[in-house]
């Protein structure tokens, strides 16, 4: 009897130790919830064979607009029509089978213009809803809104932003003045003739 009692106590002790040690956490609903980890920069989604990768927003200094970054790869069995929508930005793209689009001005695969987004109503560090559709399927992706506080994103701020606009028009103005100066001779030039 004593051996049977000792064995029962040992089994009961083991049954209590296992849940307390954290092994049972693998069976809890918090750990087994369908959580998708996005490694690297940006969020991602897959819809009907179309992959959206690296969806990320980098805000300018005063947080009035942001530049949208993404890569789309059509791995479906045929052509695909995709749409991205965030804030006031909406773009529809038609992709051939196997085609890839890179929305990143720093990438060698980029051949377009900045994707500027206004009206986000979000602070830097928050997540922003980006609606993506592909072949009549849609999904809302939560992408981060970051800024150039980290050195890695310094060159990723919007170049065509309101802070950059005066610089652009100032650089254009001398070109126009130089054209006018060449067309109209100065008083010194006319006196020498």
pLDDT tens digits, 107-123: 877 777 889 999 888 99
Higher pLDDT, 170 or 54: 54
Q: What's the pLDDT at 37?
A: 47
Across the range 156-171, mean pLDDT stands at 48
Q: What's the pLDDT at 18?
A: 61
pLDDT class of 19 with cuts at 50, 70, 90: low
pTM score, two decimals?
0.61
Strands, E assignment, 20-178: 43-47, 50-59, 65-74, 80-86, 89-95, 100-103, 116-118, 127-134, 137-146
Query: Does residue 89 surpass a pLDDT of 50?
Result: yes
């Amino acid at each position: 009897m004593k051996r049977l009692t000792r064995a029962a106590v040992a089994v009961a002790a083991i049954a209590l130790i296992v849940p307390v040690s954290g092994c049972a956490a693998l069976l809890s609903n918090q750990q087994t919830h369908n959580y998708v980890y996005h490694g690297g920069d940006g969020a991602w989604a897959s819809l009907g064979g179309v992959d959206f990768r690296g969806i990320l927003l980098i805000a300018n200094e005063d947080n009035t607009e942001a530049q949208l970054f993404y890569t789309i790869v059509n791995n479906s069995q045929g052509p695909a029509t995709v749409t991205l929508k965030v804030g006031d930005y909406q773009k529809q793209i038609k992709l051939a089978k196997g085609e890839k689009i890179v929305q990143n001005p720093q990438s060698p695969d980029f051949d377009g213009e900045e994707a500027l987004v206004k009206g986000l109503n979000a602070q830097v560090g928050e997540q922003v809803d980006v609606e993506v559709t592909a072949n009549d399927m849609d999904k809302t992706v939560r992408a981060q809104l970051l800024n150039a506080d980290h050195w890695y994103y310094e060159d990723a701020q919007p170049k065509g932003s309101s802070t950059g606009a005066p610089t652009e028009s100032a650089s254009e103005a001398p070109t126009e003045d130089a054209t006018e100066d060449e067309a109209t001779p100065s008083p010194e030039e006319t006196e020498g003739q």
